[in-house]
Amino acid sequence: MVTSHSAAAARSQRAASRRRGPVLEHAILEATLEQLSTVGWSGLTMEGVAVGAQTGKAAVYRRWPSKEDLVVEALRSALPTMDEVPDHGSVREDLYQLCRRVREAMYSKPGFALRSVIHECDSETSERFQGLILSGVIEPSQRLLCEVVKRGVERGDVRADAPGELVFDVIPAMMMYRSKVCGSEWTDGEIAEMVDLVMVPLLRP
């Protein structure tokens, strides 16, 4: 006799088998992120992802030939975009809001998964994921920081000789260091303190 549970599972498998293209790919990538959040890089398998996405292992391998390729695509597609510069009328408030957005990216599900992967995988594999952090989080945040500071120069609340590579490294470097080494989750108060005690004095005319 077929139980109601077995029948439901069979219907689910039939529905999953009918998925194609972007719908199936999205399910696979979501299952990958879920696996990373539960079992980590070391425990993630292509078979486990296939089960989570309710599809066959072959469907996963056809799109991503390796575990590394799959995880990179899952993380890249899910990282929050940072493509707009906040404008709140002062460099202090702009920096504060920008730092909050960087924190959201770092502590989003894909951001957390990305940092976990780097901690677990070997040094050769981690280079590719380090590049993803650079292109997905650090470089966009530095670009927006540059725009915020240059706008502050135009307003007159940032001195003209303040913009420079070292200045633009301060916020990403502090946030990554405190997050990775010290385990800080960067509360709103800590962000405000960093902006008020470090960045504003560094930039003030």
Per-residue pLDDT band for 56 (boundaries 50, 70, 90) equals very high
Q: How many CB atoms lie within 10 A of CB 37?
A: 13
Name all domains of the chain by residue range, CATH numbers in brackets.
4-77 (1.10.357.10), 79-203 (1.10.357.10)
Q: Do 82 and 146 contact (CB within 8 A), yes or no?
A: no
Does the structure show a pLDDT above 50 at 9? no
User: What 3-state class would DSSP assign to 6?
Assistant: helix
Predicted local confidence at residue 137, as pLDDT: 77
Kindly state the average pLDDT of the residues 59-69: 94
Residue 69: both structure tokens together: 């390729």
Residue-wise pLDDT for 119-143, tens only, equals 787 777 777 787 887 888 778 888 8
Mean pLDDT over all residues of the chain?
84
Q: For residue 77, what are its two tokens?
A: 């597609």
Distance of alpha carbon 12 from alpha carbon 128, whole angstroms: 36
pLDDT of 15 reads: 47
pLDDT reading at 1 higher than 70: no
Q: How far is CA 173 from the centre of its chain?
A: 16
pLDDT band of 3, cuts 50, 70, 90: low
